[in-house]
Structure 1
Amino acid sequence: MNKKKDMKVCLVGSSGGHLTHLYMLKPFWESKEHFWVTFDKEDARSLLENEKMYSCYFPTNRNIKNLLRNTVLAWKVLRKERPNLIISSGAAVAVPFFYLGKLFGAKLIYIEVFDRIDKPTMTGKLVYPIVDKFIVQWEEQKKVYKKAINLGSIF
């Protein structure tokens, strides 16, 4: 069995900078079966033109209605796709995918955003307790997230 091909990866995040962060991990995900969950916006449609993509509901930050809608979406998508690994760099849409993904047995990797150095993000705080790996891009972020791994900048 080819482990690379057997792994299925879900890349979930808001469009814009979060999506750009995840796309920069292309050397990792391009050789694996993968799919995306992001906002149905022009930047995402353009960047992911030939990719399998599920559109999630937005705005997400502090929006209970869309949190509930994205939780239902996460249930449907994860039940259908059954990824082994879920990766996100935020924002709020990651939360239901991570919590339900954990129930489905997926491994979870969260990458804290590059521009938040000395304070946690809301999404980071919410997923930190359940992730398998929490990646930061600044050594200073390890003061906020004690079990984080600093792999340096993605850029």
Structure 2
Amino acid sequence: MLSWEIVMKICLVGSSGGHLAHLHMLKPFWKNKDRFWVTFDKEDARSLLEGERVYACYYPTNRNLKNLIRNTAVAWKVLRKEKPDLIISSGAAVAVPFFYIGKLFGAKLIYIEVFDRIDKPTMTGKLVYPIVDKFIVQWEEMKKVYPKAINLGSIF
């Protein structure tokens, strides 16, 4: 069980666009906490995260081995420097190296499966499900796909 009171630093990692918007909607949770972001260096991310501590990662990530390797190096460097207690992501592929390296460094991991998946897993969800501390879905049907998941309903 996670004790939210002892969380000192949060890493929010996700692709720009909808994944980042999803994480930003969690503002009531993260707004008063020490945090940093990892996302693509794109206009929407720069605009949404103005004034936040942000680390850029490489894209495209979908089935791109070169950028997976590059993002693994980014994850190693950023996580060694920042030492977050908690890593939260809603995808996509950039979450994978951050979760696996974060696990090695002892961070707690929370993954939120995206809203538009009602009964089929995402590739990222399948890859991180075995190692996360909490796996959150937004549809009850997804509990058939991820039996240990917690359905918190929509965050929209």
TM interval, shorter chain, is over 0.9
Summarize the Cα distance change of 1:150–1:5 in structure 2 as closer, same or farther, 3 Å threshold. Answer: closer
- Given residue 25 of structure 1, which amino acid in structure 2 is its aligned partner? L
Q: Is the 8 A contact 2:16 2:45 kept in 1?
A: yes
SS across alignment from 1:27: helix
Structure 2 equivalent of residue 104 of structure 1? 105
CA distance in 2, matches of 1:107, 1:7: 11
- Given residue 88 of structure 2, which amino acid in structure 1 is its aligned partner? I
Aligned residues: 153
CA distance in 2, matches of 1:5, 1:145: 27
The RMSD of aligned alpha carbons is 1.1
Check if 1:24 corresponds to 2:25. yes
Summarize the Cα distance change of 1:111–1:6 in structure 2 as closer, same or farther, 3 Å threshold. Answer: closer
CA distance in 2, matches of 1:131, 1:59: 24
Q: Is the 8 A contact 2:14 2:38 kept in 1?
A: yes
Percent identity, aligned pairs only?
84
CA distance in 2, matches of 1:6, 1:38: 21
Q: Is the 8 A contact 1:87 1:110 kept in 2?
A: yes
Mark the runs of 5 or more structure 2 residues left unpaired by the alignment.
Answer: none
Q: TM-score, normalised by structure 1?
A: 0.97
Summarize the Cα distance change of 1:118–1:6 in structure 2 as closer, same or farther, 3 Å threshold. Answer: closer
Structure 1 equivalent of residue 153 of structure 2? 152
C-alpha displacement at 1:7, in angstroms?
A: 1.2
C-alpha displacement at 1:5, in angstroms?
A: 8.1
CA distance in 2, matches of 1:55, 1:131: 23
Structure 1 equivalent of residue 124 of structure 2? 123
Structure 1 equivalent of residue 136 of structure 2? 135
Summarize the Cα distance change of 1:121–1:33 in structure 2 as closer, same or farther, 3 Å threshold. Answer: same
C-alpha displacement at 1:87, in angstroms?
A: 0.1
Structure 2 equivalent of residue 48 of structure 1? 49
Check if 1:58 corresponds to 2:48. no
CA distance in 2, matches of 1:122, 1:75: 22
Check if 1:12 corresponds to 2:13. yes
